[in-house]
Structure 1
Amino acid sequence: MVAACILRFISTGALRVALCAPAAFLGAAPCIAQQSAALAVYPVKSIRIITASSPGTAEDFFARSLGEELGAFYRQRVVIDNRSGAGGLIGNNLVSKANADGYTLGMVSVTRIVTELMHEPPPYRALADIVGVAHVASITNVLAVTPSIPVRTPSQFVAHARARIGELNYASLGIGSASHLAGELFTRAVGIDAVHVPFRNLSDSFVEMVLGRVHYAVLTLPAALAPVREGRLRALAVMTPQRSPALPAVPAIAEFGLPEAQFDSWSGIVAPRGTPRRIVEQLHGDIVRALHKAALRGLFVRQGAESTPESTPDGFTRLMQSEYLRYQTLIRQERITAFREYACASPDEQRASAVHDAGVSAEC
């Protein structure tokens, strides 16, 4: 009689046993199938989460917070790999080209989409190369103005801007950044004419706004909260359908009949296309479990973010697809390409910009 074969292995801290009945009675196929199922346990080694941003950014914060939870649950290392640079091209491209085995993931934001749209030919396919795993969090954005402008509502600001065609400008953290897209969406939604002034860092843009040389910006809530509360900037609206608990006296942009100006700074986990569906589903379930933890939710709230555990892999993919279409229209209509807006600006506009580079050129 053929002895039963016993396969034992340890995964995520639990002992699992696969028993194969004697081949003489049940045949070899069931034994092989059970062994294959047993060996399919995930994860059995460390996981890498690539973020196309530098340490200290929102994406990095979300990746590290989530990585700690997953690492403790899986009893495996979760390594956060910061690959910033080239407007997100480096990190995003690494995720697209990684092995589809579940051991390389990406923490992405809207820049995953717009980076492709601003380059010709595109360095990667923003959505075709990845699959959604989980929508992790969203950050509220705030329309803020310099206190030197005598306005307190978006309606007053629009009237002020329309009386000064071409005189106002708005700040961002670079061409194609979330703050650039949000500023452009608002500017288009209300039909005003304003000059885009990209900055290398947030502190420089704050200085120029406080001095009144830059007039407005759409900023993330964590960035805007302190200067707004201190009176250095004035918040006119949050760019969401509802008001924010952090700034309850500040109206939502939807209250002014401007849904097209709404802007969501979302972040989520993706995997290379071809990653087995069972791994995607397992990761999603484990991420959702982490997002339901009160400690993690509280950590997100303190950073001005809201966790989104109600998402599904397919739902997150649909969100990315709809955002792709939205920004594809915006970028094509405004002819936004990497560095083009700066290169085509007037000398005065270039001097006002914090990204002056005499070597930049483009066809205007």
Structure 2
Amino acid sequence: MNRRHLLGLGAAAALTPVAARAQSWPTQPVRLVVPFAAGGPTDIPARLFADEISKALPQRMIVENRTGAGVVVGTDAVAKAPKDGQTLLYTTVAHSVLRPLFPRLPFDPVADFAPVSLIGVIPMVITVNKDFPARTLPELIEKLRAEPGKHDYASSGNGGALHLATELLLRRANVRANHVPYRGTAAAMPDVLNGSVPIIVDVATTTLPFVQRGETRALAVMDSQRLPQLPNVPTTAEAGFPGLEAYTWHMVLAPSGTPTATLDQVAGAFGRTAREESVRTRLGDLAMRVVDDQSPAFAKSWLDAERTKWEAIIQEAGIRVD
């Protein structure tokens, strides 16, 4: 198979053997830039994929943690990287809200990036202090409706995923609660546990241990499917709020202008790895549900929908990041 024929395969390249695809990608070690700290909930899956993909490629995939200004520093590094598939961004839902929250970025989060592969989604879980007088989501909504502005909810920071997911819930239910932002979930949880700020909508990975120990009560999972770790906790649809879904998701992006054939090859590498049973099991332990379609087309459609959803919430709630 010659190089011209290989590059002409387009989307079908994702199904070709690694040895054949390696003629065009990669030609040197691949940098997988993670704009979050090492050892965190985004870094761990990124390293899992990098290690597994490295076993199949002629060049290693190396995780590079580039933190600073939220996710801006690492994201900017990828935006300005060569358009050859050798530098990739492994990021989260944070990418979908960069434009409305940070209007003076050194890059365009839409025009400067090509979605490659949506890896999976980790749902948010609507949770309250164990002694809070609401045992179901409808009871929580009724409590907030009966006592508008009386109750507080915690988040990991203004404009973050937890803040946005809670605002989505409040606006969908047409109720009010007071936002109390903290510098991260670890700082927020003591006040949730002691009941001074009794409500938090948190990522399943983080909230599971507290729920399983009985320290907090999960009212609903903001997903279309129940969490295997919380089989008795209903989805938001089952609790009477169909379509009320919120996730932190993991996605791979490349600099805009990267050749389509290369994007397909990168997506194929991540897709094959995501379908490995051992990888799915390890991601499942992190409460991540691997999606069935890791193609660039699906990643783009997902990212476009997420941008539309969260930009509307940011505008409606008047959320600003100072």
Q: Please say whether Structure 1 and Structure 2 have the same fold, judged by a TM-score greater than 0.5.
A: yes
**Runs in 1 of length 4+ with deviation above 4 angstroms?**
37-40
Q: What's the offset of the Cα at 1:295?
A: 0.9
Q: What's the offset of the Cα at 1:66?
A: 0.6
| Structure 1 pair 228–117 and aligned structure 2 pair: CA distance change class (3 A) | same
Q: What's the offset of the Cα at 1:268?
A: 1.0
| Structure 1 pair 77–166 and aligned structure 2 pair: CA distance change class (3 A) | same
Q: What's the offset of the Cα at 1:39?
A: 10
| Structure 1 pair 260–308 and aligned structure 2 pair: CA distance change class (3 A) | closer
Indicate if the aligned counterparts of 2:22 and 2:58 stay in contact, CA closer than 8 A. no
Structure whose CA Rg is larger: 1
Indicate if the aligned counterparts of 2:34 and 2:43 stay in contact, CA closer than 8 A. yes
Aligned mates of 2:287, 2:86 — CA distance in 1: 29
User: 2:295 — aligned with what?
Assistant: 312
Aligned mates of 2:119, 2:272 — CA distance in 1: 11
> Is residue 2:272 matched to residue 1:285?
no
Q: What's the offset of the Cα at 1:115?
A: 2.1
Q: What's the offset of the Cα at 1:154?
A: 0.7
Aligned mates of 1:183, 1:314 — CA distance in 2: 29
Q: What's the offset of the Cα at 1:309?
A: 4.0
**TM-score, structure 1 normalization:** 0.80
| Structure 1 pair 38–319 and aligned structure 2 pair: CA distance change class (3 A) | closer
Deviation track 1:7-37 (CA, whole Å, cap 9, x = no partner) reads xxxxxxxxx999xxxxxxxxxxxxxxxxxx9
Identify the match of residue 286 of structure 2 among 303, 306, 315.
Answer: 303
Question: Could you tell me the percent identity over the aligned residues?
Answer: 30
Indicate if the aligned counterparts of 1:127 and 1:321 stay in contact, CA closer than 8 A. no
User: 2:16 — aligned with what?
Assistant: none
Q: Which moved more, 1:195-204 or 1:242-251?
A: 195-204
**TM-score, structure 2 normalization:** 0.90
User: 2:107 — aligned with what?
Assistant: 124
User: 1:337 — aligned with what?
Assistant: 320
> Is residue 2:221 matched to residue 1:238?
yes
| Structure 1 pair 123–193 and aligned structure 2 pair: CA distance change class (3 A) | farther
Identify the match of residue 204 of structure 1 among 164, 179, 187.
Answer: 187
> Is residue 2:67 matched to residue 1:92?
no
| Structure 1 pair 38–307 and aligned structure 2 pair: CA distance change class (3 A) | closer
Count of residue pairs the alignment pairs up: 306
User: 1:181 — aligned with what?
Assistant: 164
User: 1:229 — aligned with what?
Assistant: 212
Indicate if the aligned counterparts of 1:241 and 1:254 stay in contact, CA closer than 8 A. yes
Indicate if the aligned counterparts of 1:116 and 1:123 stay in contact, CA closer than 8 A. no
Aligned mates of 1:38, 1:153 — CA distance in 2: 51
Deviation track 1:233-284 (CA, whole Å, cap 9, x = no partner) reads 0000001122221111001001133235310221111100111111111111
| Structure 1 pair 123–256 and aligned structure 2 pair: CA distance change class (3 A) | farther
RMSD across aligned positions (CA): 1.9
> Is residue 2:101 matched to residue 1:115?
no
The letter for the 2-side match of 1:145 is V
User: 2:119 — aligned with what?
Assistant: 136
Aligned mates of 1:173, 1:201 — CA distance in 2: 4
SS in 1 for 2:71: helix
Aligned mates of 2:62, 2:313 — CA distance in 1: 35
Q: Report which structure shows greater RCO (CA 8 Å, sep ≥6).
A: 2
Indicate if the aligned counterparts of 1:141 and 1:221 stay in contact, CA closer than 8 A. yes
Aligned mates of 2:243, 2:153 — CA distance in 1: 18
- Structure 1 residues without counterparts, runs of 5 or longer: 1-15, 19-36, 340-364
